[in-house]
Amino acid sequence: MAPPLTPATLLSVLRAEGLTVVEVGNWRTHNRNHKGPWGPVHGVMIHHTVTRGSAATVDLCRRGHSTLPGPLCHGVITKDGRVHLVGYGRANHAGMGDDDVLQAVIAERALPPDNEANTDGNRHFYGFECENLGDGEDPWPEAQLRAIEKVSAAICRHHGWGPGSIIGHLEWQPGKVDPRGFSMQTMRGRIAARLDSNQPPEQEDPMAGMSNADICKAVWTTDGVVGVPDGWGAPGNTEWKPASILIDMGKRLRTVEAQQAAQAATIDKLVDAVAAGPAADLDALKAEIRAAIESVVIRIDADSV
C-alpha cells in the first residue's frame, strides 16, 4: 500500500533501471481521475494489447476507443523494449476484479482463483500494456520480456515491494487471458532474481531502438533552443537549426568555386597577354598581374568558413 509515484519519480526510477523511456504527449496530466481516485497503489498489472505495430499500439493505448476512453494504461512496452509513457493517474486498464486477489497482492502471498469482480482495479494498480497479438503464437522478444522485468523491478524497488506485487490481468479479472504467451510465475521469478541480485541498474542507451532516420531527424532538425553558434547567424534566430550550418557551408563553397573560376579566367588572360610579344611594358604587366590576383584571391580562414 502506497501513494503513487509522482510523474517525475516514475520517469526517474524507470530510467535508473536502464530502460529506454519515451514520453508521449501530455502523459503527466492524461488520466481518468474524474471517474474516481487513483491510489493507494498495491501493485503492477501486466497486459497484452491484441494489436500489431508499435506506433498504432501506443496511439490506441493513449487515446482509447469509442467504448473505452484512454489512457488504457500508464505505459506501453513495445516489442523493441521501449517504454512509452501515455498516462499518469487513473487509467482504464484493470477494471473490476477479485478482492481476495487484491488482499493476496497486498500480503504478497499465493494468489487465489479470480472468481469475483467486485473491486476497482483501476484505483489500485499501475498498468502496463505490452504490444502482442495475444494469440499464443505472436512472439515475445527477449528485449520486451526484459523490459517488463525491469519496469516491475523499478517500481518494486521504490515502494519496497517484492515480486508478489506483480500480477497479470488474467489473475485479476475472471475471463481475462492476458498476458498470453509467457507465464506470470516465470516473470515473477525473473523479477525476484533481479531484485535479489542487488546489481547496479544498467545504463540507459539513449539511442536504443532508434532508426537511422530517427537519429538523423534528432540531430539535424533540432530547433533554435540550443542557440546560434557565433558567426553562424543572428543571435536569437529561432529558425536556426543544426542543418543551417550545412546550408551556409554550401553557400560559402559555391562562392569559393566562383572565385576559383574567376581566378583561372584571369590567369588565362594574363598568359595570353604575356604571349602577345615583347612589346609589352613589363613593369605595367607586373602591376596588372598583381592587381588581378589580389582581386580574386581566395582567403580561407576561421572567420570565413
For strand 75-77 and strand 83-85, is the pairing parallel, antiparallel, or unpaired?
Answer: antiparallel
What residue ranges in the chain does DSSP mark as E strands? 21-23, 43-48, 64-65, 68-69, 75-77, 83-85, 96-97, 119-120, 125-130, 166-168
Residue 249 confidence (pLDDT): 78
The number of distinct structural domains making up the chain is: 2
Domain housing 180: 7-197
What SS3 state is found at 46?
Answer: strand
d(CA 181, CA 178): 8
Q: How many CA atoms lie within 13 A of 297 on its CB side?
A: 10
Does 210 fall in a domain? no
DSSP state of 45: E
Residue 204 confidence (pLDDT): 53
φ, ψ of residue 46 in degrees (nearest 5): -110, 135
Q: Side chain identity at 153, as an amino acid letter?
A: A
Does 214 fall in a domain? no
Does 206 fall in a domain? no
Residue 303 confidence (pLDDT): 45
pLDDT, one tens digit per residue, over 86-119 is: 999 999 999 999 999 999 999 999 999 999 999 9
pLDDT, one tens digit per residue, over 178-194 is: 999 999 999 999 999 99
φ, ψ of residue 284 in degrees (nearest 5): -65, -40
- Asked if residue 277 and residue 150 are part of one domain, the reply reads no
Across the chain, mean pLDDT equals: 86
Residue 304 confidence (pLDDT): 44
Pick 49 or 267 by higher pLDDT: 49
Once rounded to an integer, what is the mean pLDDT over residues 124-151? 98
Does 232 fall in a domain? no
- Asked if residue 164 and residue 270 are part of one domain, the reply reads no
Q: Which three cell numbers stand for residue 51?
A: 494489436
pLDDT, one tens digit per residue, over 67-90 is: 999 999 999 999 999 999 999 999
- Asked if residue 33 and residue 159 are part of one domain, the reply reads yes
Residue 8 confidence (pLDDT): 97
Q: Is the pLDDT of residue 268 over 80?
A: no
